[in-house]
Amino acid sequence: MFDLLKLRIRHGKQAIPDIRKAKVMEAFRGFPIIDETRSWNGGVGCKEICPTGAIDVNPLRIDLGKCIFCGECEKFSDGAIKFSNQYRLGSSKRESLVIASSKIFEEFDNTAIEAKKEIHKLFGRSLKLRQVSAGGCNGCELELNAASNVNFDMGRFGIDFVASPRHADGVVITGPISSNMAPALKDAYNSISEPKIVIAVGACAISGGLFADSNQINRKFFDEVPVNLFIPGCPPHPFTFIHALLDFLGK
């Protein structure tokens, strides 16, 4: 017994002490910096090289809701596109995920997520979420699982995943929503009591990602149900997910 206590003391606190000041490695691809003044062949081919159609030209812009952060455009654009390691990418407005050269990270970070008083009042102290993998590859699911480990420790903020939608305050959707999973997702959503929130995580959930043109997906759910929070990435970093939720809850 005493040996176990001594071992626990030696371990110390495993969780990141101040998650608001935490940083990721420089190699991490996060918020894109766009510089149209750089020579990049006028954008010829840059749009076509993107596997998800996230890039548009005239003006040059990137849709983070479609972007899988593969970095191909960064290699091709001769400096016009560069990914920073800024991981705070969540937004409560779909249109805010379209990044042009005029949008700097600080402006995006301050305006992308709108914290509402009623959301803070309802869920600020405790938010329980049911995660539905609607045809995902398990990349987003693994990162969401990591958000609750001893390192990131999302639970210290009162945010947890639950096994049943009847115990949840909202649904977290990953994957492009395959035809087989569409009814299950709708059932899970309908089983959550009002008021409830919907969070789309990853490029697949937000836009269909690499599978957007597939005839095997069914995204009618998003035609009927509004999304409260978009968290881009392929997959998103646990920091991206946690910070987006904290900002959304006004914490």
The pLDDT tens digits of the residues spanning 105-124 come to 999 999 999 989 999 999 99
Distance in angstroms (rounded) separating the CA atoms of residues 192 and 130:
9
CA-CA distance, 77 to 49, in Å (whole number)? 10
Task: Indicate the pLDDT class of residue 15, thresholds 50, 70 and 90.
Answer: confident
Are 107 and 216 a contacting pair, CB within 8 Å? no
Partner residues linked to 128 by β-bridges: 160
What number is the average pLDDT over the span 172-191?
97
Q: How far apart are CA 126 and CA 146, in angstroms?
A: 19
Neighbours of 110 (CB within 10 A): 8
Q: Each residue of 23-70: pLDDT tens digit? A: 999 999 999 999 877 755 655 567 788 999 999 888 889 999 999 999
pLDDT of residue 11: 63
**For residue 174, is pLDDT > 70?**
yes
CATH architecture designation of domain 117-249: 3-Layer(aba) Sandwich (3.40)
Average pLDDT in the 79-98 region?
A: 95
Which ranges in the chain belong to alpha helices (H)?
A: 2-11, 46-49, 72-76, 105-111, 117-123, 139-146, 182-191, 202-207, 221-224, 238-249
Confidence of residue 8 (pLDDT cuts 50, 70, 90): low
Q: How many Cβ atoms sit within 10 Å of the Cβ of residue 170? A: 20
Query: How far is Cα 87 from Cα 90, in angstroms, rounded to an integer?
Result: 9
Residue 12: partners with Cβ closer than 8 Å, 6 or more residues away: none
- pTM, rounded to two decimals: 0.93
Query: Domain limits of the chain?
Result: 117-249
